[in-house]
Amino acid sequence: MQCLNGFGGGWMMILWWLLIFVIGYGFFQFFRANQQQKLNSEESPLEILKKWYAGGEISKTEFEQKKAELEN
């Protein structure tokens, strides 16, 4: 019977490194996708201005002035 040198010899070491690489690549892809989603979900300045107006934080004249500034 052949001795397996601990956990399976050279082939097992290759499999462990492959597993570590796959897990690392998976984490990289997960965090990259998460960061991309954050960038896509940011609101535009006009959307923020509309929320302020809808929430009563600014008056109609302020809204119109700031909207005109954003459009120029």
Q: Provide the pLDDT confidence category of residue 43 given band limits of 50, 70 and 90.
A: confident
| Confidence check: pLDDT of 41 > 70 | no
Quickly list H helices, the chain. Answer: 5-8, 10-40, 45-54, 60-71
Percent of the chain clearing pLDDT 90 (strictly above): 47
- For 26, 41, 44, the CA distances from 32, given in Å and listed in that order, are 10, 14, 22
Mean pLDDT of 19-25: 96
For all residues of the chain together, what is the average pLDDT? 84
In angstroms, the CA 19 to CA 41 distance is 33
**Contact assessment for residue 46 and residue 70, using Cβ atoms and an 8 Å cutoff:** yes
Whether pLDDT at 1 is above 50: no
pTM greater than 0.85: no
